[in-house]
């Protein structure tokens, strides 16, 4: 169950490991749900490029799109950020545990 989290977090990290996508996440976060055209206005690249990035984010579960009418609106799913956070915390916890073991070893 723990290892599944780690596996899962890889896709989240990979999705956030691109400047454009991280900016998309930040914008969706600050400005709320937005359509593709509105989102692409903020970037110096084509609408289709933004669409591809949205699909990557969707694949990582970070974002969800719906289509009421002719425009597709995308919103952030902030719960998925916790997966990455949990992974970081797990690594840090194991690091601390390793330090503890080292300390025990030195003192004995």
Partner DNA sequence: ACCATATGCAACCTCTTGGTTGCAAGATGG
Partner DNA sequence: CCATCTTGCAACCAAGAGGTTGCATATGGT
In angstroms, what CA-CA distances link 18 with 12, 21, 26, 28, 107?
A: 11, 5, 12, 15, 44
Figure out which of the listed residues 5, 7, 67, 103 binds DNA, where binding follows CB under 7 A: 67
Burial of 71 (0-12, 13-18, 19+ CB in 10 A): exposed
Binding mask 17-56 for DNA (x = CB under 7 A): -x-x--------------xxx-------xxxxx-xxx--x
Cα 5 from Cα 101, distance rounded (Å) = 25
Stretches 24-32, 35-43, 44-52, 66-74: which one binds its own copies (CB under 8 A)?
Answer: 24-32
Residues 6+ apart with CB under 8 A from 96: none
Binding site for its own copies (CB under 8 A): 6-7, 9-19, 22, 25-26, 29-32, 76, 78, 81, 84-85, 87-88, 91-92, 94-95, 98, 102
Binding site for DNA (CB under 7 A): 18, 20, 35-37, 45-49, 51-53, 56, 65, 67-73
């Amino acid at each position: 169950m723990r290892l599944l989290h780690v596996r899962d977090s890889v896709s989240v990290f990979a999705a956030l490991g691109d400047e454009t996508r991280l900016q998309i996440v930040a914008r969706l976060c600050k400005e709320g749900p937005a359509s593709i055209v509105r989102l692409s206005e903020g970037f110096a690249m084509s609408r289709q490029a933004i669409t591809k990035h949205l699909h990557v984010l969707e694949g990582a579960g970070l974002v969800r799109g719906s289509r009421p009418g002719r425009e597709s609106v995308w919103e952030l799913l902030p719960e998925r950020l916790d997966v990455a956070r949990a992974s970081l915390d797990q690594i840090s916890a194991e690091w601390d545990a390793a330090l503890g073991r080292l300390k025990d070893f030195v003192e004995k």
